[in-house]
Structure formats: structure tokens, C-alpha cells
Chains A and B, each alone.
Chain A
Amino acid sequence: GAGVSQTPSNKVTEKGKYVELRCDPISGHTALYWYRQSLGQGPEFLIYFQGTGAADDSGLPNDRFFAVRPEGSVSTLKIQRTERGDSAVYLCASSAEVGQPQHFGDGTRLSIL
């Protein structure tokens, strides 16, 4: 497809489990961003990549969260030892270059039981 693709669309897991969320950016976009959106709130920045490197990870809440983009295209957000407070919609966005408008996927709705 032409847009940002995120999988899975929904993920339900138990507290303490490990989860991986995947993002396929728009083809050719060099910058990729992860946000987290809680109910009734706007998206909150987590991390962004310029190419393969994480240019700013200041939004990651703690060391249980980690993201990679090994080939400068697909990115995976990884959450270890999940907690109920991690439940949210995780949004991915991409842009042609950093500073260009960000285009979002439909998100992964993560529920921790």
C-alpha cells in the first residue's frame, strides 16, 4: 500500500510478557517516528529514526522500551516485561526527511491484562 502500515492492529497480552510492534513506513521515507496515544489524549512522542539510527529517543518512558530500524526501512518497537500502564495505541509515522510533514499509520492497540 501507499501509506504507513502497522502490524498487528490489535495486541492483547498478559502483564509481564514481551511484545513487538512493527511499522512499515511509506516507501522512500528516511525518517520514522513512534508515538503513544492514551484515551482522550493527543499522541506523545517516543522516538524517531533518521535512517538506521535513533536520532532522538528522549520520549521512551523507561528502559523496558526499545526500538530498532536495522535497514533504514521497517522499524520494530519492543516492550519488555509489559505493565498494565503500557496499554495504549502505539502510532508510527514517517516523513520524506526529518522536518517534513509526518504521515501516520492506523496504530497498534495494545492491551495489557
Chain B
Amino acid sequence: GQQLNQSPQSMFIQEGEDVSMNCTSSSIFNTWLWYKQDPGEGPVLLIALYKAGELTSNGRLTAQFGITRKDSFLNISASIPSDVGIYFCAGQPIGGSQGNLIFGKGTKLSVKP
């Protein structure tokens, strides 16, 4: 089935550093979403993107919908300890079921104070 390649798998950074992670697909997507999941909790929506080229910010987070419609990235500026968690990209492929989101395997972020 459809797969999203999310990288890196894990990151270990110093507090205050900027973070970048991305997601790619072999097929075209018409929606990209970024979620954060803490242990024992469900994924929490961070940013939703609907148009190719769209760049959207949410506080220190910025995400972009790639021009090719096959990729997306998420940047976190000036990381803080509470940014720790697993970040998932998710998307809806063109021609696919509207309710069926495809998820990446996640990027695990660790922040060293």
C-alpha cells in the first residue's frame, strides 16, 4: 500500500537549536498534516496544508507543502524541552479515500537542556 518516507527516524539536539524533518511519497498527495505524539497520548494536530507551495506557521513551527506535491517538511525553531516527542507526517493521496490518512513512521525528537 501507500507509504510515506519520513526522515530522520530520530534526532538528539541541544535546547535552542533549530530542527528540520521531512516526509516524501512516491505519489501525489492533496493534503499534508503534521502531528506530535507524546507517550501514552494520541497524536495532536500541529499544522495542516492543502495547497502545493503553501507555507504555514504555528508559533515556532513552520511547515511547507512541496511544489511537487510529493513532499512536506516541518521546521521547529529554537527548540525547548517540551518539544520532545514523536512527530508524524500524514497525507491524503490524490484519488484515495477522503477519510484515509497515510502516516509516516515518525521522527523521534530528543532535546538536551
> What are the residues of chain A within 8 A of B44 when measuring CB–CB?
104
Asked if A4 lies at the interface with its beta carbon under 8 angstroms from chain B, I say: yes
Q: Are B42 and A104 in contact (CB under 8 A)?
A: yes
17 new A-B contacts at CB < 8 Å, known A42-B90, A102-B33, A103-B45: A42-B4, A42-B88, A42-B104, A43-B88, A56-B97, A56-B100, A58-B100, A91-B42, A98-B99, A99-B99, A101-B48, A104-B35, A104-B44, A105-B42, A106-B41, A107-B41, A107-B42
List 15 interface pairs A-B (beta carbons < 8 Å), by A numbering: A33-B101, A35-B101, A41-B105, A41-B106, A42-B106, A43-B88, A45-B101, A48-B100, A50-B99, A55-B98, A59-B100, A91-B43, A101-B45, A102-B101, A104-B35
Binding site for B on A (CB under 8 A): 4, 31, 33, 35, 40-45, 48, 50, 55-56, 58-59, 91, 93, 98-99, 101-107
